[in-house]
């Protein structure tokens, strides 16, 4: 893939949204056109991954040939390519499920255009090279999600939609406020340019409160403690396919941005990491443990899965915190970041898969309340098999993908002597297994009861939806059985985040790139820039190309 082709990750879903809008009266055409665009999107994602992953290259395109940091930069490195690939797989599988399981009313209107525009926002978030366009991508993603949130229009769903919109508007207001403050202090919003300032140790002290404020912005979108209050009452009200799409993508976009910002951009600045790292590690332990306790106490499938989104985010925070904590050796930092990236990829696939399984459980049993259903092992043996594989992967049993991701994170935590967060990570994994076994025993293993008994003997048509679930399970199995291959790509991405010299060089050019090395086990000075350029941020960058 060439550097200028990466714009297709924005153009393709935007074009799909426009074309399917004009086809809104022809639903069959919408499905076929949408499927074609999604397949093309997957092909380009795999092509980008094959281009950058082997060597750690960075594909950069400057819009309008305006050079960074004055123009609009889009860039695909190994981390972006991994996220794009997993997101394209998740979107295609959810689309398959929706095409077969959604009724005409749910697929009618403008569901298909909004679906593709949401993908556009997600993928733009993964490839943007500056903060302002990250904000624009977020808003496109969120506006599409507001419309998709209303698919089904149940009373509970619409009640939660108001809360969802209001909280995201507050988050967006905080985000754009942070951008104004950052630009006023640094004179730039380009990610590579800000990374260069951090590597040169030229971040002004006045920027620290703004950076901490950004933790609140992205933490709210990722649903970390104590900003998770909106998620448990929201996702379970959605149709299962929409819940799976949101669980697989939206919170993971927040996690991706947190890695990009706090590990790559500010991870080389000790004045930032000394403040942020303890907060991330403390929040990780609380998010994991309290989240899983909430899941264990629930008795409906979609509520359990929704709250598990929160607990699983804790593992991602753990990797970020270890990566920027002082006194941690560079190889352990890379291991922690690689584990966090691997875990995000695993969670995108498995969490989406479990939501889709929950949807077919409702199709077969008429409900997802565990006290009102049962006997699905006999009624839907293939669904039971696929659910069990995904559930055990989420819990982290070997040799499945969840085990490998957790093992890497636990190893990094143990070697860096952060035993408290390791303890909570292990405990969370055990409670996750308990909650998954509860769904299995009540929903699949126990005798049929409630609405399930009154269902006619004729099976509902779920074979189409099973294709999407089966593809996700195959990907999850490949991540477990081929973990070394996946981990090598995650390690390549982690290396470029811990030492972002290549990223800065690719975006800004060699003349603006400081040489940089990581110092082992130096709590007060993790990173020392080797060459300092005179740089007056507010004076040098008096304009920005947005």
Q: To the nearest whole number, what is the mean pLDDT of the chain? A: 86
* pLDDT reading at 84 higher than 70: yes
For residue 399, say if its preceding peptide bond is cis, omega within 30 degrees of 0: yes
* pLDDT reading at 103 higher than 70: no
Predicted confidence at residue 289, as pLDDT, reads 92
- The per-residue DSSP string of 159-194 comes to HHHHHHHHHHHHHHHHHHHHHHHHHHHHS--BHHHH
Predicted confidence at residue 511, as pLDDT, reads 57
| pLDDT, greater one: 158 or 300 | 300
What would the mean pLDDT of 217-225 be, rounded to a whole number?
A: 85
β-sheet bridge partners, residue 369: 300
Predicted confidence at residue 127, as pLDDT, reads 96
Length of the chain: 546
Predicted confidence at residue 538, as pLDDT, reads 39
Region of 238 on the Ramachandran plot (φ > 0 left; ψ -120 to 50 alpha; else beta): beta
Gap between the Cα atoms of 422 and 208, Å rounded: 28
| pLDDT, greater one: 537 or 244 | 244
Pairing of strands 516-518, 527-529: antiparallel
Predicted confidence at residue 226, as pLDDT, reads 80
Pairing of strands 527-529, 59-63: unpaired
* pLDDT reading at 527 higher than 50: no
pLDDT band at 67 (very low <50, low <70, confident <90, very high): confident
Gap between the Cα atoms of 88 and 81, Å rounded: 10
> In this predicted model, what pLDDT tens digit does every residue of 330-385 receive, in sequence order?
999 999 999 999 999 999 999 999 999 998 988 888 888 888 888 888 888 899 99
* pLDDT reading at 425 higher than 60: yes
pLDDT band at 111 (very low <50, low <70, confident <90, very high): confident
pLDDT band at 457 (very low <50, low <70, confident <90, very high): low
What would the mean pLDDT of 187-198 be, rounded to a whole number?
A: 93
Predicted confidence at residue 453, as pLDDT, reads 54
> In this predicted model, what pLDDT tens digit does every residue of 222-266 receive, in sequence order?
888 887 777 777 777 888 889 889 989 988 999 999 999 999 999
β-sheet bridge partners, residue 183: none
> In this predicted model, what pLDDT tens digit does every residue of 479-496 receive, in sequence order?
999 999 999 999 999 999
């Amino acid at each position: 893939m060439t550097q200028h082709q990466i714009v297709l990750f924005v153009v393709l879903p935007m074009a799909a949204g426009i074309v399917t809008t004009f086809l809104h009266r022809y639903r069959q055409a919408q499905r076929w056109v949408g499927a074609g665009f999604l397949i093309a999107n997957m092909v380009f994602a795999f092509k980008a991954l094959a281009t950058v992953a082997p060597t750690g290259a960075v594909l950069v395109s400057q819009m309008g040939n305006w050079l960074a940091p004055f123009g609009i930069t889009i860039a695909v490195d190994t981390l972006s390519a991994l996220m794009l690939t997993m997101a394209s797989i998740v979107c295609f599988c959810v689309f398959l499920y929706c095409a077969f399981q959604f009724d005409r009313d749910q697929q009618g209107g403008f569901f298909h255009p909004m679906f593709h525009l949401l993908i556009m926002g997600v993928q733009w978030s993964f490839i943007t090279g500056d903060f302002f366009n990250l904000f624009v991508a977020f808003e496109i993603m969120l506006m599409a999600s507001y419309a998709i949130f209303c698919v089904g229009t149940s009373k509970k769903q619409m009640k939660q939609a108001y809360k969802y919109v209001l909280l995201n508007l507050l988050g967006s207001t905080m985000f754009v406020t942070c951008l104004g403050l950052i630009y006023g202090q640094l004179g730039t919003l380009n990610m590579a340019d800000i990374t260069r300032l951090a590597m040169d140790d030229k971040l002004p002290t006045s920027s620290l409160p703004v950076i901490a404020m950004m933790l609140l912005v992205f933490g709210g979108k990722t649903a970390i403690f104590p900003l998770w209050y909106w998620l448990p009452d929201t996702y379970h009200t959605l149709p299962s396919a929409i819940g799976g799409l949101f669980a697989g993508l939206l919170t993971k976009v927040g996690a991706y941005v947190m890695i990009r910002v706090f590990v790559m951009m500010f991870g080389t600045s000790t004045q930032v990491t000394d403040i942020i790292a303890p907060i991330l590690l403390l929040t990780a332990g609380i998010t994991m443990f309290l989240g899983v306790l909430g899941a264990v106490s629930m008795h409906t499938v979609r509520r359990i899965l929704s709250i598990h989104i929160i607990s699983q985010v804790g593992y991602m925070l753990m990797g970020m915190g270890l990566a920027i904590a002082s006194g941690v050796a560079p190889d352990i930092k890379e291991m922690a970041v690689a584990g966090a990236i691997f875990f995000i990829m695993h969670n995108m696939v498995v969490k989406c898969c479990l939501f889709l399984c929950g949807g077919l459980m409702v199709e077969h049993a008429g409900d997802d309340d565990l006290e009102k259903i049962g006997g699905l092992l006999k009624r839907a043996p293939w669904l039971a098999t696929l659910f069990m594989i995904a559930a055990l992967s989420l819990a982290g049993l070997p040799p499945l993908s969840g085990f490998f991701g957790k093992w890497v994170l636990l190893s990094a935590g143990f070697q860096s002597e952060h035993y408290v967060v390791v303890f909570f990570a292990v405990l969370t994994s055990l409670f996750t297994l308990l909650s998954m076994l509860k769904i299995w025993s009540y929903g699949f293993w126990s005798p049929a009861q409630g609405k399930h008994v009154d269902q006619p003997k004729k099976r509902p048509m779920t074979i189409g939806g099973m294709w999407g679930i089966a593809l996700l399970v195959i990907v999850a199995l490949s991540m477990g059985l081929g973990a070394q291959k996946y981990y090598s790509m995650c390690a390549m991405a982690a290396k470029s985040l811990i030492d972002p010299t290549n990223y800065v060089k690719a975006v800004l050019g060699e003349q603006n790139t400081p040489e940089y090395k990581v110092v082992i086990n130096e709590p007060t000075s993790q990173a020392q820039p080797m060459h300092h350029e005179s740089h007056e941020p507010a004076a040098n960058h008096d304009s920005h190309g947005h």
